[in-house]
Amino acid sequence: MKVEGQDWFYSKTVKEHFMKPKNFLNDLKEVKGFNGYGKTGNMKCGDVMEMWIKVADGRIKGCKWRTFGCASAIASTSILSEMVTEKGGMKIEDALKITGKEIMERLGGLPAVKVHCSVLGDQALREAIKDYEKKQSNKKTKQNK
Amino acid sequence: MKVEGQDWFYSKTVKEHFMKPKNFLNDLKEVKGFNGYGKTGNMKCGDVMEMWIKVADGRIKGCKWRTFGCASAIASTSILSEMVTEKGGMKIEDALKITGKEIMERLGGLPAVKVHCSVLGDQALREAIKDYEKKQSNKKTKQNK
Amino acid sequence: MKKPKEIYLDYSATTPVREEVLKEALPYFSEKFGNPSSFHSRGLEAKNAIESARKRIAKILNCEAEEIIFCGSGTESINLAIKGIAFRELAKGKRGHFITQKTEHEAVLKTMDWLKRIGFEITYLNVDENGLIDLGELTRSIKEDTLLVSIMYANNEVGTIQPIKEIAEICHKKNTLLHTDACQASEYLDLNVKKLGADLMTLNGSKVYSFKGTGLLYKRKEIEIEALIHGGGQESGARSGTENVPGIVALAKALEIAEWEKKKEAKRITALRDYFIKRVEKEIPKAKLNGHRTKRLPNNVNFSFEGIEGESLILYMNEEGVRLSTGSACSSKSLDPSHVLTAMGIDHGTAHGSIRFSLGKETTKKELDFVIGKLKEKVEFLRRISPVWKKGKGVRKK
Amino acid sequence: MKKPKEIYLDYSATTPVREEVLKEALPYFSEKFGNPSSFHSRGLEAKNAIESARKRIAKILNCEAEEIIFCGSGTESINLAIKGIAFRELAKGKRGHFITQKTEHEAVLKTMDWLKRIGFEITYLNVDENGLIDLGELTRSIKEDTLLVSIMYANNEVGTIQPIKEIAEICHKKNTLLHTDACQASEYLDLNVKKLGADLMTLNGSKVYSFKGTGLLYKRKEIEIEALIHGGGQESGARSGTENVPGIVALAKALEIAEWEKKKEAKRITALRDYFIKRVEKEIPKAKLNGHRTKRLPNNVNFSFEGIEGESLILYMNEEGVRLSTGSACSSKSLDPSHVLTAMGIDHGTAHGSIRFSLGKETTKKELDFVIGKLKEKVEFLRRISPVWKKGKGVRKK
Ligand SMILES: Cc1ncc(COP(=O)(O)O)c(C=O)c1O
Ligand SMILES: Cc1ncc(COP(=O)(O)O)c(C=O)c1O
């Protein structure tokens, strides 16, 4: 998708989420009781993302993140955290289906060189869900013992 | 010699002689009684010069010319015609010694690509003097017979 | 007749920048001065300016915006088109064959000459006495390894217009590409690349009442070329260097104005041109019109006045306030007669006496009347002092 | 503190055209618009303008007027210097060896890369952590067939100044030539080529408060190069194309003003630079100054703020009216961290967090105070949301 001849470098939505990011982690206390954590990316590529989720009744009730990266990386995690928590929270099976493309569309497009940022967002989320599921199965195993 | 940053393409003297050429032949009647004629150059190179001289008492008393060529070619023949006729007329032995360089100096210099024009001028003159001398020796031969 | 201050009839050498053009570009010098590559508002502003200019020009050429490469002159655009293809091959360790024709601008000819020196094969097509190439000769010259054919749209000295559409068809039928130098055509002729069929096309600013030091290359996006100027990767990597933002904005505006006025102005100028030609032919003996009588740029008149040398006439006319050229502006540096006239089979003497009158947006009938009057006077004087002219008989052929 | 409208700290990317410069060049657009090659008064006027500009610049560089080749950008000048020598050899069927170093501008590096592809041998010298080359390594790298060494005068990202004089001495002792890219140096450093010893030197307009799309190459007259752009033979055949008369006049004026103000302005800017560096180092934890502390352009500051990514910081600062770059303007197109910082051995994470503050003629202490205030705020916020930053501890190295 091409973003040209506009009044900013990215779409309006990216700008909003970059300038005023939603749900970023201010303090570790905020994720007390959260039950899933994921991390992705590396410094070499210039993007690192962390995501905490709180799952209850199969739905994502809370989502917090931290991002080292460019405007589109920050906006990607910000909007993703909104997507998964809005309307009472997304079911985790639906959350697992979120693609970078959907994030990008919701952001109103990204320049070609920045598309990978949106992919990183859903990767971090998936890691967090995996972590949640692992913890759950651990719990079950324990209970079953 | 370099001519640059001036208010014309050539020196002031070239301009004067080009804009108001001296001694050019207006009508063949003007060279009645002239006793030397020379021609040099060719159309291919873009310069052709004709020169008529009138020699008396070993001095050049009259000089007329016609030139097909650029401004420096016209100015060269014009100034040459002045040089050889001024101050009571140049002795032919001195006229034979005139070089392109002298013509060029008198013109206040010529751009490098135009130096050959001045050389053509003295060539035409030399041809005219040769022609005069040939005619003279022809006369003598006739007289001697 | 009162002597006018100045009559400029050298619009084919260069044009003054239009007021509207300068006005549109002016803010980009000191206010909106950002580097289009800078990642902040000033940079974005500059980037938007050049991308908008690209789109406006693409509309005129009927191509995509990304098919336009801005560069620093018509000459650079031509070099980029030709060497861009040559260097692409060179990097593969290959050479190849180019075709051009003998009356091209030096930018094409000297580029081809140099490619020849480094091992490419060049065919220089002949032209007829009007300056037109032979389409049969072109067809026969295209070979398996012909990389590009470069034929100008309209000639800068004699104004002859080549049949670009037919040439493009031949090139495409024989599986090669066509580049056309449209620098002289841009003000009056159709620049629709789809209609013309050109695969690459050169335009510049200095001939369309815009900035010197600006130009562009249209390149069909499927065609791969190597950059001539490597660096920061601007212009999609085809031409690096900080973009000349005011120059690009100016070029867009100038091409737009040209496009809007094209039909009307071409008609007006053609009428003036034909009036001028007719009067000169009638009133000055042995004045030979060079170039094609109808397949001719609306603003071009080129005459040889037998028996006189062009530079002298130009300087006499200059003294009367009339600005003229012998043809290519560059030729004033050399003593050789115009390569264009020579290629058209015109003898050296006649070629030396050629003068180009190139009309433009300020040209009026009144100006031309003044010019004709002075021309008659000066031609007559120069013929009077010319050893090769015989009154009533013309030039003596020896 | 009242928020200023705009604080431009990206002068190394490009500069606004000075009022005096524009004023001097303006008449050459629409009035004195002739083609310098035209053989009439309008042409002569234009020719005189560029020849006078050439002389004025030659005085500044302490060289002869004919040693200056005007062209269309710094990038083109660099390409002309390097490829001009390469192509000269190519036409003889030869290749050869070039030396450069790893923190050069892309114009040098990409040119060298391409020459490598067509068979030339290239040595890319290393730099130390300050960005300086090792003179011993340079000496050892020069070979029999080394055609040219190209080392920049001052770096555009980190401001490091190379010891050009010593480098020139080594080159000459070992019988090779030195080209130096002085685009960033021209506003503040000595441009006397005799003192510097450079055989070829590149300057451009866009960095000295003059026109984009202008540049020049100084070339010692004994050195033979092949043209990059062939055509009408302008610039003594080294660079064809109608000369950008206003651009050339502007460049002369701008370089003159720079020369007049150099000493005073370098002092003023150096003081501001050092004030800025000192405050940032004191007030922002883990801010790493990139580049040499003293062998540094007066107007360059480059910091890496650990734990954050540069683009985000730039965009936050932009929203506050502060215009900054991550370094090379071009790098904004790519995801790779700066090749300059990487060559200096700075790790990728730190390199990603680098910001260039390039000061200029309008920069004031008050502006810098505002910038520092905002910087602290934005760096703190970005670190807060950064997964790699640990308060009080800096970046966690994994
Ligand atoms: C050090 C250096 N060299 C070369 C250039 C290229 O100059 P230009 O953009 O005029 O081509 C620049 C600026 O972009 C530069 O900073
Ligand atoms: C037909 C033609 N091609 C190319 C050029 C070169 O354009 P520029 O002077 O902008 O390099 C010119 C004008 O000089 C021209 O008339």
Half-sphere exposure of residue C326: CA atoms within 13 angstroms, side-chain side: 29
Which ligand is closest in space to the CA of residue C10?
A: 2
Residue whose CA lies nearest to ligand 1 atom number 8: D74
D31–C16 CB contact, under 8 Å:
yes
| Beta strand pairing call for A47-56 and A36-42 | antiparallel
Lowest mean pLDDT across C145-149, C325-329, D90-94, D121-125: C325-329
Q: Which residues line ligand 2 (CB under 6 A)?
A: C 73-75, 105, 107, 152, 156, 181, 183-184, 204, 206, 215; D 241-242
* Averaged pLDDT, C285-299: 97
Half-sphere exposure of residue B70: CA atoms within 13 angstroms, side-chain side: 24
D48 CB within 8 Å of a chain B CB: yes
Residue whose CA lies nearest to ligand 2 atom number 5: C74
Location of structure tokens 């003000």: C187
Phi-psi category of A108—alpha, beta or left, where left has phi over 0 and alpha has psi -120 to 50? left
Report whether pLDDT(D215) > 70.
Answer: yes
Q: B121 is in which domain, residue-wise?
A: 8-143
D290 lines ligand 1 (CB under 6 A): no
Question: What is the pTM for the complete model shown?
Answer: 0.95
pLDDT in the model for residue A4: 45
Which ligand is closest in space to the CA of residue C35?
A: 1
Q: What percentage of chain D has pLDDT greater than the value 90?
A: 91
Amino acid in the structure at residue C310: G
pLDDT in the model for residue D342: 94
Q: Give the position, in ligand 1's atom list, of the atom nearest the Cα of C241.
A: 11
**C-chain residues within 8 Å CB-CB of A8?**
44
CA-nearest of D246, D247, D72, D248 to C72 is D72
D106 and C231 Cβ atoms separated by less than 8 Å: yes
| Domain topology for D19-258 | Aspartate Aminotransferase; domain 2 (3.40.640)
A6 CB within 8 Å of a chain C CB: yes
Lowest mean pLDDT across C176-180, C331-335, D191-195: C331-335
- Chains A and B: 3 or more CB pairs within 8 Å of each other: no
Pocket test for ligand 1, best of D79, D155, D188, D204 (most atoms within 8 A of CB): D204
Q: What percentage of chain A has pLDDT greater than the value 70?
A: 95
**C-chain residues within 8 Å CB-CB of A5?**
48, 51-52, 55
Helix (H) or strand (E) segment spanning residue D357:
strand D354-358
pLDDT in the model for residue C296: 98
Residue whose CA lies nearest to ligand 2 atom number 15: C183
Tell me the helices (H) and strands (E) count for chain A, helix number first: 5, 3
**For residue D160, how far is its CA from the centre of ligand 1 (angstroms)?**
15
| Beta strand pairing call for B36-42 and B47-56 | antiparallel
Please name the residues in contact with D384: beta carbons below 8 A apart, sequence gap of 6 or more.
A24, A26
pLDDT in the model for residue C335: 64
Confidence band, pLDDT 50/70/90 cuts, at residue D2: low
Q: What percentage of chain A has pLDDT greater than the value 90?
A: 70
Which ligand is closest in space to the CA of residue D161?
A: 1
**For residue D74, how far is its CA from the centre of ligand 1 (angstroms)?**
5
Cα A118 from Cα C217, distance rounded (Å)? 36
Sorted by where each begins, the domain ranges of chain C are: 7-15+262-396, 19-258
Location of structure tokens 């899933």: A36
Assign domain D7-15+262-396 to a CATH class: alpha beta
Residue whose CA lies nearest to ligand 1 atom number 16: D156
Q: What percentage of chain B has pLDDT greater than the value 90?
A: 70
D360 lines ligand 1 (CB under 6 A): no
Q: Do domains D7-15+262-396 and D19-258 have the same CATH topology?
A: no
DSSP, residue by residue, C247-260? HHHHHHHHHHHHHH
Confidence band, pLDDT 50/70/90 cuts, at residue A145: low
pLDDT in the model for residue D331: 41
Per DSSP, helices labelled H in chain A are: 12-19, 71-85, 92-95, 100-106, 115-144
Please name the residues in contact with C90: beta carbons below 8 A apart, sequence gap of 6 or more.
C118, C226, D118
Best to test chain C binding among D35, D105, D109, D257 (most C CBs inside 10 Å): D35
Location of structure tokens 């650079």: C76
pLDDT in the model for residue A2: 39
Neighboring chains of D (3 or more beta-carbon pairs < 8 A): A, B, C
**A-chain residues within 8 Å CB-CB of D349?**
43-44
**A-chain residues within 8 Å CB-CB of D381?**
none
Half-sphere exposure of residue C202: CA atoms within 13 angstroms, side-chain side: 30
D184 lines ligand 1 (CB under 6 A): yes
Tell me how far CA of residue A95 lies from CA of A14, A39, A104, C240, D358, in angstroms.
21, 16, 15, 45, 45
Residue of B nearest to C347 (CA): B44
Report whether pLDDT(A38) > 60.
Answer: yes
Cβ neighbours, 10 Å, residue C172: 13
Dihedral through CA C323, CA C327, CA C331, CA C332, nearest 10? -20
In tens, the pLDDT along A107-126 reads 999 888 888 877 888 899 99
- Has residue B3 been placed in a domain? no
Cα D223 from Cα D391, distance rounded (Å)? 58
In tens, the pLDDT along C212-249 reads 999 999 999 999 999 999 999 999 999 999 999 999 99
- Has residue B23 been placed in a domain? yes
pLDDT in the model for residue D247: 98
Residue of B nearest to D37 (CA): B9
Neighboring chains of C (3 or more beta-carbon pairs < 8 A): A, B, D
- Has residue B27 been placed in a domain? yes
pLDDT in the model for residue A1: 34
Which CATH number belongs to the domain containing residue A59 in this structure?
3.90.1010.10
Which ligand is closest in space to the CA of residue C234?
A: 1
The overall average pLDDT reported for chain D is 95
Q: Give the position, in ligand 2's atom list, of the atom nearest the Cα of D242.
A: 9
SS3 state at D170: helix
A137 CB within 8 Å of a chain C CB: no
Pocket test for ligand 1, best of D75, D77, D297 (most atoms within 8 A of CB): D75
Cα B70 from Cα B66, distance rounded (Å)? 12
**For residue D249, how far is its CA from the centre of ligand 2 (angstroms)?**
21
pLDDT in the model for residue D30: 98
- Has residue B2 been placed in a domain? no
Q: Does D71 participate in catalysis according to the annotation?
A: no
* Averaged pLDDT, B84-108: 94
Residue of C nearest to B21 (CA): C385
pLDDT higher at D394 or A16: A16
Q: Give the position, in ligand 1's atom list, of the atom nearest the Cα of D204.
A: 10
- Has residue A92 been placed in a domain? yes
C37 CB within 8 Å of a chain A CB: no
The overall average pLDDT reported for chain B is 90
A107 and A12 Cβ atoms separated by less than 8 Å: no
Cα C25 from Cα C17, distance rounded (Å)? 11
Q: Give the position, in ligand 2's atom list, of the atom nearest the Cα of C104.
A: 1
**For residue C330, how far is its CA from the centre of ligand 2 (angstroms)?**
10
In tens, the pLDDT along D36-95 reads 999 999 999 999 999 999 999 999 999 999 999 999 999 999 999 999 999 999 999 999
- For residue A37, the distance in angstroms to the closest alpha carbon of chain D comes to 12
D385–A73 CB contact, under 8 Å:
no
Tell me how far CA of residue B8 lies from CA of B11, C311, C324, D262, in angstroms.
7, 14, 15, 37
Confidence band, pLDDT 50/70/90 cuts, at residue C388: very high
In tens, the pLDDT along D300-321 reads 999 999 999 999 999 999 999 9
C74–D19 CB contact, under 8 Å:
no
D80 lines ligand 1 (CB under 6 A): no
pLDDT in the model for residue C327: 64
The overall average pLDDT reported for chain C is 95
D73 lines ligand 1 (CB under 6 A): yes
pLDDT in the model for residue D367: 98
Best to test chain C binding among B6, B47, B70 (most C CBs inside 10 Å): B70
Q: Does A45 participate in catalysis according to the annotation?
A: yes
Cα A22 from Cα A83, distance rounded (Å)? 11
**A-chain residues within 8 Å CB-CB of C39?**
9
Report whether pLDDT(D3) > 90.
Answer: no
pLDDT in the model for residue C391: 80
Best to test chain B binding among C304, C306, C309 (most B CBs inside 10 Å): C309
Report whether pLDDT(C2) > 70.
Answer: no
What's the structural domain count of chain B? 1
C10–D232 CB contact, under 8 Å:
no
